[in-house]
Chain A
Amino acid sequence: MTLRNLMTTAAALSALAAPALADINIGASISETGPAAFLGDPEAKTLRMEVEKINAEGGINGEKINLIIYDDGGDANKAKTFATRLVEDDEVVAVIGGTTTGTTMAMVPVFEDAEIPFISLAGAVDIIEPVKTFTFKTPHTDRMACEKIFADMKAQGFTKVGMISGSDGFGKSMQAQCKGVAEASGVEIVADEVYGPQDADMTPQLTNIKGSGAQAILNSGMGQGPAVVTRNHKQLAIEAPLYQSHGVASKQFIELAGAQAAEGVRLPAAALLVADQLPDDDAQKPVVIAYRDAYQAATGEDVSTFGGHAHDALAILKAAIERADSTDPVAIRDQIEATKDFVGTAGNVTYSPEDHLGLTLDAFKMLVIKDGDWTIAQ
C-alpha cells in the first residue's frame, strides 16, 4: 500500500516537473557530486548557464529548451537508472553527459536501444571506438594527448621516456594508451612507475626513473598526484624535463604545485586556457573568450576545459536541432553526425560516420608553465 503511494507520489512529482508541450527536452546525467565532481560541477554549471542564454535569445527554432539534469554521483548503476528515466519518463530528444567513462559506458546501451543521440563528456577512446550509431563525444581522448606529448618530445630530441602514472581511472587509462602508441610515435618507455592518487610523496618512483636513463618524464594523472610529482621532480633536481597531461589543465594545479616547482612543466591542453594569447586570426579565439568571460561572470570561478566540453556538446546539439528543423531524435542524430568545421573550446569538430570524436591533434596546444601561468610553447 505504502509502496504504491510512494510510486504514485514519485509519478506525481515527475508530472509536476513535466514541461509545456512545445519545449525541447534535453537531458543530462552529470557527476555533480562524488569523486568526479571537479569535472561534473563546471559541466552542469555550464549547461545551466548556456541553456538560460539560449532561452533568453528565443530558444531553438522558436522553441525553449527544457534542460533536465540528474546528478549520478559518478555511480554507473545510478547513471543507467537516470538514463532510463530520461528516455522513458522525461522523453528527451537528446542527452548530454556521462562525466566519467564508467557512467558513459553504462548509459550507452540505453540510448542506442532507444535511438536517442548522446554526446558524452568523458575522455576514454572506448566510447567512440568502435563507432556507435547514436554516441558522440566532445573531449579529446587520452590517446591524442599521448601522441601530442610524444611528438613534442621527439621534436626536442628526447626518445627515452620515463612514465609515472596515477592508479585512478584517468591515470590508468592514459598509461595504457601511451604505452600503446609509444612505438608508433618513435619513443621508448624506459620506466613505468605507478602511485596511488592520495600518495603524498613520489620520490621513490622518481628516483627509479632518474636511474633508468629517461630523457623526459611523462606524468599521466589528475587531481593532487601530479602536483606532488611536480614538487618532487623539482626537489630531486631531475634534469629530464617533466611533461604533465591535459588532466591538470586548471589553475589549481599550479597553485598546488607552487609556481616555482611548476616552472617549465609542459602539457597539452585546449586553447581555452590560453585564450588571450591566441593569435588574433585564430578562429577559436572569439569562441573561447566569449565562453570564458560568460562562465566567470556567471559563476565567479576560473574556467576549466571540462566545462568547455559541455559548452561544445550543447552548441553542437543546438546547431544540429536547428539544421534538422525537427525534434525527431533520429533526424537530430543525422545532423550531429553531419557537423562540419564546428569551432568549439576543444578545437575544430568535424564528425563523420566513421569518426564520432571529430578532433585532430591540432586541437591540442602544447603549453609550458612560466611564472605561474600558461604560455603557448614555441
Chain B
Amino acid sequence: MRLGPKSTTLLVLAALIALTPVFFPSSFYYRVGSLIFINGLAVTGMVILIGYAGQISLGHAGFAGIGAYSCALMPVHWGVPVLLAAVLGALISAALAWLVGRPILRLKGYYLAVATLGFGILVYMVLMNEAWLTGGPDGTAVPDSGLRDMAKAIGINLKNSEFWYWFCGIVLTIGAWLALNLHDSPTGRALRALHGSEIAARTVGVDVAKYKLQAFVISAVYASVAGSLVALQNQFVTPDIAGYMHSIEWVTMTVLGGAGSVLGAIFGAGILTLLPQVLTRFAEYEQLLLGLIMMLVMIFMRDGLLPQVLRLIRGKDQ
C-alpha cells in the first residue's frame, strides 16, 4: 500500500510523539515535549498563514495571550468552566483577528505585519496595566482544568508532566491533521494560488481578500489554543505569554523548519524549544547562536531546514 504525503506526515508525527518517551531519562523531558507540542501547534497555524497564504504576522502571541487569560479570568469572574473558557478564548481571538484583518488584508504588501505588531503590543499592554482584572505583571493563577482527574476517572493515572505531554501531543496531531486537510481543500488551493501570484489568482476568480482573512483567522485560533494549553498546564500565567518576542519566536520557528511544510515547522519548533535547554551553560550566547542559525538557513536553505534536508536525501533518485 502506498501512502499519500498527508498520511505519511501524520504517521511520522504520531510515531514521534508516541515513541520518543522511550528515550526520556527523566520525566522532565515530558515537560519539554509538551512545550514543543504547544509551540508546534501555534507554528502549524503560522504555516497556514505564512506558508499557505504568504502573509506575515508579528503579533500572534497576542492571540496566545487572549487564549491563556480567557482560561485564567473567565472561570474566576463569570464562573465559566475552564475548558469552555478555552473555547470562548479561541472564538474571541477569531473575532479579533477578523476585525483586525478585514480592513488590512484588502491591501497588498506588508501592512498585516505592521498591524499585527501593534495588535500584539496592545494585548500585552492591557494584560500588564489592567491589574485589577489580569493581576498585572505579577501574573495570575489559572484554575485546575480537571482534565487530569477526568483521565484518572477512566483509569489513566499519569504524572502531571506526562499527562500534558500526551494531551498536547494529541491536540497537536489533530491540529496538524486539520492543517494538512486544509492544504488540499479548495481553500488551501486558493491560498497557495494567491501566495504564488495575487494577480493571477484574482484573474481565475479567487477572492483574494476573503481567503487571506480566512487564513489569518484560522492561524489566530491555533495561537489562541496554544496559549490556553500553556495556561492550563502551568496553572499560572503572566503577560510574558503575549510578549513581542514570542511572536518573533514563532515566526522564526516556522521559517527555520520550513514554512511550507507542517512537519518542517513543527521540527523548527522542536529545535528552538530544545535549544535553550541544551544551551543552559551558554545562556548568554543563546540569542547569538539563534541569529546565526537563522542567517545560515535563510542564505543556504530558503525552504527551511527539513524540506532542504529531505531534498538532499532524495536528491539522487530525482
Question: Which positions in A face B, CB cutoff 8 Å?
Answer: 2-4, 6-11, 13-15, 17, 32-33, 70-71, 74-78, 80-81, 84-85, 87-89, 100-102, 105-106, 109, 113, 124, 126, 167-169, 172-173, 176
Contact = CB atoms under 8 A, between A and B. Distances in A.
B25 A105 contact: no
B274 interface: yes
Of all A-B residue pairs in the complex, the 7 with the closest CB atoms, nearest first, are A169-B137, A88-B28, A89-B28, A102-B238, A76-B238, A101-B138, A84-B31
A51 B23 CA distance: 33
A11 B277 contact: no
A2 B20 CA distance: 11
Contacts of A167: 128-129
Given A7-B20, A10-B277, A71-B283, A15 B139 contact: no
A160 B301 CA distance: 66
Contact of A11 (B23, B137, B139, B230): B23
Interface string B208-240: 000000000000000000000010001111101
Given A15-B25, A113-B160, A173-B138, A81 B131 contact: no
Contacts of B281: 17
B317 interface: no
Given A77-B234, A85-B28, A173-B138, A3 B270 contact: yes
Given A32-B283, A80-B236, A89-B25, A176 B16 contact: no
Nearest to A108: B236
19 contacts: A2-B267, A4-B19, A6-B274, A10-B29, A11-B29, A13-B278, A70-B283, A74-B240, A76-B240, A76-B241, A77-B35, A77-B234, A81-B277, A84-B28, A84-B161, A88-B27, A102-B138, A102-B139, A102-B238
Contact of A8 (B23, B27, B277): B23
Given A8-B23, A10-B277, 18 more contacts: A2-B267, A2-B309, A4-B23, A6-B271, A7-B23, A10-B274, A17-B281, A33-B283, A71-B283, A75-B240, A76-B238, A80-B234, A81-B31, A85-B31, A88-B27, A101-B138, A109-B235, A172-B136
**Chain B contact residues: over half helix, strand or loop, or mixed?**
helix
A102 B284 contact: no
Interface residues of B, number: 44
B134 to A, nearest CB: 11
Contacts of A77: 35, 230, 234, 240-241
Interface of B: 16, 19-20, 23-29, 31-32, 35, 128-129, 131, 136-139, 141, 160-161, 230, 234-238, 240-241, 243, 267, 270-271, 274, 276-278, 280-281, 283-284, 309
Contact of A70 (B136, B236, B280): B280
Nearest to A103: B238
Contacts of A75: 238, 240, 243
Contact of B236 (A88, A105, A169): A105
Nearest to B22: A4
A106 B283 contact: no
A42 to B, nearest CB: 16
A175 to B, nearest CB: 9
Contacts of A78: 276
Contact of B277 (A85, A106, A173): A85
A148 B227 CA distance: 41
Which residue, of A11, A100, A102, A126, has the highest number of chain B Cβ atoms within 10 A? Answer: A102
Contacts of B270: 3, 6
A170 to B, nearest CB: 8
Given A3-B20, A4-B20, A77-B240, A124 B28 contact: no
A71 B280 contact: yes
Scoring B25, B35, B131, B160 by chain A CB atoms within 10 A of each residue's CB, the highest score goes to B25
A70 B20 CA distance: 25
A81 B274 contact: no
A55 to B, nearest CB: 19
A97 to B, nearest CB: 14
A281 B235 CA distance: 48
Given A11-B25, A81-B31, A88-B26, A106 B161 contact: no
B137 to A, nearest CB: 3
A124 B267 CA distance: 39
Contacts of A10: 29, 32, 274, 277-278
- Residue of A33, A85, A113 most packed against chain B (CB within 10 A): A85
Contacts of B26: 88-89
Nearest to A14: B25
Contacts of B32: 10, 81
A76 B237 contact: yes
A172 B128 CA distance: 10
Contacts of B271: 6
A109 B142 CA distance: 12
A176 B241 CA distance: 24
Nearest to B129: A167
A88 B277 contact: no
B140 to A, nearest CB: 9
A316 to B, nearest CB: 24
